Structure 1
Amino acid sequence: MKVLLTPRQHKDRIEYVFTDERTVVVTYNGEFEETFDLINDFEQPYEGDDMITRKRSEVLPINPIISVRYENDERHVDVFRYHGPNPSDDVVFPDWQEVRFGETYPYPLS
């Protein structure tokens, strides 16, 4: 599984922990936490399209997962990465990262 941390300038903080192939726990500002099921909470509206959320966040003030899609039978999850002013190039121009289960993203935290 791979994750893309799509940059968005924002004063708040959002963190992700992928616990396994299907579950991600999202924490917002260290206060609010919600678990998303990357299989059951998403659907593919048309053959070949990205999978989009069908679950609106019940706890968080945003929907943090942009899309879930499959490439060569591998899950790719696109999520928001909040950052402050003047982020580094690796934040502004992210690459897909192999998910390490149990790690906190963005990693390193910035």
Structure 2
Amino acid sequence: MPGNEWLDDEIAIAVYFAASNYQHSLIALLLQRRGFNRTKASVDNKLITIRNSHLELGTGYFWDVTAAHKWASQNISNHELLELDEEDAAMIYLPKLMNL
């Protein structure tokens, strides 16, 4: 059973953070914090679809960061959705710091 159709903003957020090398589970959490409801599996599937339909965004498993960030910026209605706030940063970086 297919899920809800993805909005342009959701896709842009997922592409932007995937190109920045964020894990897909983290991208799902970032989407959730921005008011969207996507699972890691749905992020995985959407990013595969986007990569297959937009070959200019990278090759193989590697994103062209510049192209992906430009594409995301051109396809989002609110650029603030691509910025990390303090809570996002804490969620991302505190676990890494705790493992030092």
**Alignment TM-score > 0.5, same fold:** no
- Normalised TM-score (structure 1): 0.28
TM-score (norm 2): 0.30
- Structure with greater helix percent: 2
**Which of the two has greater strand per residue?**
1
The higher-RCO structure (CA 8 Å, 6+ apart) is 1
